[in-house]
Amino acid sequence: MKRKLVVAFVAAVAVTVLAAGLGVLLVTNRIDKDQTITILSRSSAIFVTLAQRAPSKFYLDLLQGRRLGGALLGVISPTGKVLGHQIARIPASLIKPKLLLKGHVVTWISHNRLYFARPFPLAKPLFHSLTGVIVLARIIPGSAISIAYLLTVSALVLLFAYLISSIISDRITSGLYSLIEVTKRIAKGDLGAKVTLGEDADKELQDLAFAINTMADELAESKEKEQQFLLSVSHDLKTPLTSIVGFSESILDDAVDDPKRAAETILKESRRLERLVGDLLELAKVQSPTFSLEITTCELTQLISDLANAYALRSKESKVEFQFEGISRALTLETDPQRFMQIIANYLDNAFKFASGSVYLGVSEDDDNVVVSVRDDGPGIAAEDSAKVFKEQYRSPRTSSKPGSGIGLLIVGQLAKALGFQVDYRSPITPSGRGTEMRLLIPKSKLWIT
């Protein structure tokens, strides 16, 4: 990676320097060329002025195409033929005699020299049919120097770019190597590994290091919760299994005085085990990526009334007073009715389990939600346990003697999220510091109220 960064940086600088250098070189050459043309134009104009006053010998030199003071002399016939010993050697494609006959100046460049050909009329009557021409040449200044300067500056800039890119890439990759090493350790299960960067590290690397460290902490916390969950579930599974195995062995050994009572205990513990396994399977199903809902249009008031009727019968058997308070308006909702009733049933099951004498089921409204609430007069939930409710397996120390897996409210939280509802609770709810109210908040935006 370091090599790629250096190469990319140097390449980018090289392209920029060369592009800028070539642009400057082209502009400089153009300026030098224009200045050279100006100088040659002035020189040739002076020469033409003098030629108008020249003696006859000048015209003889002109016809013979001699060199005069660094200038080539010659004439052009009306047919465009160039006459003159040296000037006639210049290719017609360069000197362009037809343009000269029309009075135009012709310039061309060869071997870094700029050639300037200028026509002029001949003053002697004998030569009126001919056109004189003078060719001057001058080296274009600065071209070779500019190229050498460009190459020198480019080399120095590229060297500087290489050094700077090496320093920057070392700074970046050293931090990345540390991040890679820590992530490898985390992937192997070392959740205590932490990324440590210097205070001068770039902010982006520091943010990435913070994210990796936070991820490791959350994975460690999740792993600890998972271990606690497995220990709790293992204990919950072991307790009924111990009873089942113990009483079964006693029956086989004829070591029980009351086989019927032993069988009832086995049945009771088997059902307890069945409920626990059912809760675990339900939790796995809800947390599965393939979990799906069966959404239909339901009459919410009717669903809650049906549940209230069922638990009214249960209250007579358990001797717990049950009170239901609904609303008269019809509430139509698109939801999964089975999952919706599962949430309320879980609330009611817990309420009947922990209530001292009364359970309340009610439906009410506020500005934004229809609220289904379940209240009981049980021991309540301790304030220090508030972060666990609905989010992880939770069994209150106040109710540890009661049977249960402790994952019912965790399932409720998952189901409510899937249905687009919210859940919360209040505890205590009585002046004596007892009781709990569990609530399901259904946004009115999901309802048709008539």
Per-residue pLDDT at 262: 78
Q: Which residue has the higher pLDDT, 429 or 16?
A: 429
Nearest to 219 by CA among 253, 176, 188: 188
Task: Record the tokens describing residue 433, joined without a space.
Answer: 């510091």
pLDDT at 140 over 80: no
pLDDT at 241 over 70: yes
pLDDT at 401 over 70: no
* Average pLDDT value for residue range 148-171: 71
Residue 240 pLDDT grade (very low, low, confident, very high; cuts 50, 70, 90): low
106 Cβ contact list (under 8 Å, min separation 6) = 94, 95, 96, 99, 100, 116, 117
Per-residue pLDDT at 238: 67
pLDDT at 427 over 80: yes
What does the H/E/C string look like for 374-409? Answer: EEECCCCCCHHHCCCCCCCCCCCHHHCCCCCCCCHH
Whether the CB-CB separation of 301 and 362 falls below 8 Å is answered with no
Amino acid at 116: F
Distance CA(304)–CA(292), nearest Å, equals 23
Per-residue pLDDT at 289: 67
Pairing of strands 358-365, 321-325: parallel
Task: Record the tokens describing residue 203, joined without a space.
Answer: 């902010």
Nearest to 73 by CA among 91, 56, 59: 59
Tens digit of each residue's pLDDT (9 = 90 or more) over 49-94: 776 666 656 665 665 656 666 777 778 888 888 877 777 788 888 8
Per-residue pLDDT at 374: 92
Per-residue pLDDT at 227: 67
Backbone phi and psi for residue 133, each to the nearest 5 degrees, phi listed first? -145, 135
21-25 long-range Cβ contacts below 8 angstroms, 24+ apart: 21/150, 21/153, 21/154, 22/150, 24/146, 24/150, 25/146, 25/147, 25/150
Cβ atoms within 10 A of the Cβ of 429, count? Answer: 16
Tens digit of each residue's pLDDT (9 = 90 or more) over 245-262: 877 888 887 777 777 877
Tens digit of each residue's pLDDT (9 = 90 or more) over 12-46: 766 676 767 677 777 777 787 888 888 888 887 87
List C-alpha distances in Å: 246 to 95, 145, 236, 268, 278: 121, 104, 16, 14, 23
207 Cβ contact list (under 8 Å, min separation 6) = none
Whether the CB-CB separation of 113 and 26 falls below 8 Å is answered with no
Task: Record the tokens describing residue 110, joined without a space.
Answer: 């060869």
Per-residue pLDDT at 429: 83
Tens digit of each residue's pLDDT (9 = 90 or more) over 323-382: 998 887 888 888 888 888 888 888 888 888 888 888 999 998 888 888 999 999 888 887
Tens digit of each residue's pLDDT (9 = 90 or more) over 276-318: 677 667 666 666 666 677 888 888 888 888 888 888 877 877 7
Per-residue pLDDT at 382: 79
Tens digit of each residue's pLDDT (9 = 90 or more) over 179-235: 777 788 888 777 777 877 776 677 777 788 888 888 888 787 777 766 666 665 665
Whether the CB-CB separation of 354 and 428 falls below 8 Å is answered with no
Q: Dihedral angle at the C-alpha atoms of 281, 287, 290, 291, nearest 10 degrees?
A: 70
Per-residue pLDDT at 441: 92
Q: Scanning the structure block, which residue is given the tokens 């090496």?
A: 166
